[in-house]
Homo-oligomer: A and B are copies of this chain.
């Protein structure tokens, strides 16, 4: 929701509606922002990746963080986790169709950063 703004006679702007609950952008940042989530999703776009590989691909994040973010992202339906019962066990993370709908936006963020040398 966006706050609605009126302009008084003196030119002063009056804010009428207040965003009481977090607006869409903040909610989105909670799902895709934070640390590592964007990178994780990005690195899943070419197919399932195993835990340790993902850990290496993201780079800089600890196993603990990756595991946490993966859980949250699974709960949000961005990816799925499948256990392959070999010895030792293997686990593959795969992006969902829903997760893919976020890739476009991640790409525009990436382009924006690179175009502006941030």
Binding site for B on A (CB under 8 A): 2-3, 5, 13, 15, 18-29, 31-36, 38-39, 42-43, 46, 49-50, 53, 56-60, 76, 98, 101-102, 104-106, 108-110, 112-114, 116, 118
Q: How many copies does the complex hold?
A: 2
Residue contact B31 to A33, C-beta cutoff 8 Å: no
Residue contact B116 to A108, C-beta cutoff 8 Å: no
In the A-B complex, the 10 residue pairs with the smallest Cβ-Cβ separation, listed nearest first, are A19-B59, A33-B33, A3-B57, A25-B38, A28-B113, A105-B108, A24-B113, A24-B110, A28-B109, A15-B56
Residue contact B113 to A108, C-beta cutoff 8 Å: no
Residue of B3, B26, B110 near A36 (CB, 8 A) is B26
Among the interface residues A3, A13, A42, A106, which one has the most CB atoms of the partner chain B within 10 A?
Answer: A3
Residues from chain B with a CB closer than 8 A to the CB of A21 are: 59-60
